[in-house]
């Protein structure tokens, strides 16, 4: 058996230069060189188990993405809503998945904002909410579409108290301003905010009426609204009252409720007789009184359902009337409110938008 000899100097370092000295030095030098290993393109990596927090975070991100995608789809449907596309878009609504509290509340809020911003299409938006009720049927009773709509309408209905406080504070700022440019700026700003609040108030009243006609809000809620409106003789509030009664009066005025309805209309007659409001509001109140006397049949009711062209024309006229009111307010009352506006544009009978097909009220 061959014997392996390893030559290692027994002398201390620096003592002698035997054969083992330089060989060891060469070996140490080679070991210090970098050695390049071959690397695979897809190297194996040991798997790591995700923590519970990481798993829950990924799940939350996925659910959040689904929720935002749902809201995006609803916005797209609402923005495309026209009488011509109603049936097609309603089919898209029924295909939506609304299975959480956040999603149901979100789609209700989106639809509500569109409804009060576009009161001429409030019938359509009310029908969309009825479809949401079907889409969210798997949710608990506490999260029904009706309850969410009621809360949303009530919140908007009571918002006028907060608005009044804001307007009062800004009116004081306006009166305290001394620089003409600043005074003009504050005047225009206050007027815009009042006009916006007025449009939201009107739109909310119209939408509440349409929801009631679809049996999504109760008679009790309607009577609460009417009583509150009658307590305030502000012209904007009285205009809301007239619009609401024109929309739902026929459905409230039955034998059992006749005494209560008589009280409402007696108060309206007294307001007309007092002549403390503008002629425009008195004419609107009188129109509602005449409407009840004619068994809630509009004077132009014999014309039948509106055509699509008439719907678009009415929407355009309503927009023009709003613009005229803003211009009139700037000219006649630059520093005051818009509650006592008087115009010669007359009154309109803005009852339910009666259109054949899906634009009509849903059956019981």
d(CA 350, CA 315): 11
Q: Note whether 65-152 and 158-339 share their fold.
A: yes
CA distance 234 to 344: 19
> Is the full-model pTM beyond 0.85?
no
Are 305 and 354 spatial neighbours (Cβ–Cβ below 8 Å)? yes
Nearest to 203 by CA among 121, 135, 138: 121
What is the spatial distance between Cα 150 and Cα 244, in angstroms, rounded to a whole number? 16
- Contact of 355 with 304, CB cutoff 8 Å: no
Closest CA to 286 of 274, 275, 272, 299: 272
| CB burial readout 47-82, b (16+ within 10 A) else e | eeeeeeeeeeeeeeeeeeeeeeebeebbeebbeebe
Q: What is the pLDDT of residue 252?
A: 94
User: What gap in Å lies between CA 148 and CA 150, rounded to an integer?
Assistant: 5
Q: Note down pLDDT in tens along the chain; length 364 residues.
A: 554 454 444 454 544 544 455 555 545 555 555 556 566 666 666 656 666 655 555 556 788 999 999 999 999 999 998 888 888 888 898 888 888 888 989 999 999 999 999 988 999 999 998 888 766 555 554 457 888 888 888 888 878 778 888 899 999 999 999 999 999 999 999 999 988 988 898 889 889 999 999 998 999 999 998 998 898 888 888 998 998 999 899 999 999 999 999 999 999 999 999 989 999 999 999 999 999 999 998 876 444 445 555 666 666 777 777 667 656 555 554 444 444 343 333 333 333 333 333 333 333 3
- Of the candidates 280, 352, 312, the one whose C-alpha atom is nearest the C-alpha of residue 81 is 312
Class of the 65-152 domain? Answer: mainly alpha
Measuring CA to CA, how many Å separate 305 from each of 82, 156, 300? Answer: 16, 31, 10
Q: What is the pLDDT of residue 359?
A: 33
Q: What is the pLDDT of residue 98?
A: 85
Backbone angles phi, psi at 207, to 5 degrees: -65, -40
For residue 34, count other CB atoms closer than 10 A to its CB: 4
CATH class name, domain 158-339: mainly alpha
Nearest in space to 291 (alpha carbons), one of 238, 235, 353, 243: 243
pLDDT of residue 284: 95
- Cα dihedral angle (30, 36, 37, 41), rounded to 10 degrees? 180
Domain ranges of the chain: 65-152, 158-339
Give the per-residue pLDDT at 146: 83
For residue 344, the surrounding DSSP H or E stretch is none
């Amino acid at each position: 058996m061959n014997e392996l000899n390893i030559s290692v100097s027994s002398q201390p370092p620096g003592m002698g230069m035997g054969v083992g000295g330089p060989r060891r030095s060469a070996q140490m030098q080679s070991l210090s060189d970098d050695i390049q290993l071959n690397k695979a393109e897809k190297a194996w990596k040991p798997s790591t188990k995700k923590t519970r927090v990481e798993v829950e975070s990924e799940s939350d991100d996925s659910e959040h993405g689904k929720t935002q995608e749902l809201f995006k789809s609803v916005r797209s449907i609402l923005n495309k809503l026209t009488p011509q596309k109603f049936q097609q878009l309603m089919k898209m609504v029924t295909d939506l998945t609304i299975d959480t509290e956040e999603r149901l509340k979100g789609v209700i809020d989106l639809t509500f904002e569109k409804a009060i911003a576009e009161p001429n299409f409030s019938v359509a938006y009310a029908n969309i909410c009825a479809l949401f009720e079907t889409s969210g049927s798997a949710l608990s009773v506490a999260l029904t579409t009706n309850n969410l709509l009621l809360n949303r309408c009530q919140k908007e209905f009571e918002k006028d108290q907060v608005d009044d406080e804001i307007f009062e504070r800004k009116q004081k700022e306006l009166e305290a301003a001394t620089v003409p440019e600043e005074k003009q700026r504050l005047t225009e700003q206050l007027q815009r905010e009042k006009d916006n609040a007025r449009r939201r108030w009107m739109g909310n009243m119209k939408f509440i009426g349409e929801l009631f006609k679809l049996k999504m809000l109760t008679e009790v809620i309607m009577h609460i609204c009417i009583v509150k409106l009658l307590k305030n003789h502000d012209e904007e509030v009285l205009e809301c009252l007239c619009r609401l009664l024109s929309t739902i009066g026929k459905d409230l005025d039955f034998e059992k409720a006749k005494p209560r309805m008589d009280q409402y209309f007696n108060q309206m007659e007294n307001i007309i007789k007092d002549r403390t409001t503008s002629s425009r509001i008195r004419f609107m109140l009188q129109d509602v009184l005449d409407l009840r006397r004619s068994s809630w049949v509009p004077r132009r009711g014999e014309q039948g359902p509106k055509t699509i062209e008439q719907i678009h024309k009415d929407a355009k006229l309503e927009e023009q009337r709003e613009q005229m009111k803003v211009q009139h307010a700037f000219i006649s009352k630059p520093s005051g409110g818009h509650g006592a506006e008087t115009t010669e544009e007359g009154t309109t009978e803005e009852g339910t938008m009666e259109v054949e097909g899906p634009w009509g009220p849903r059956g019981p």
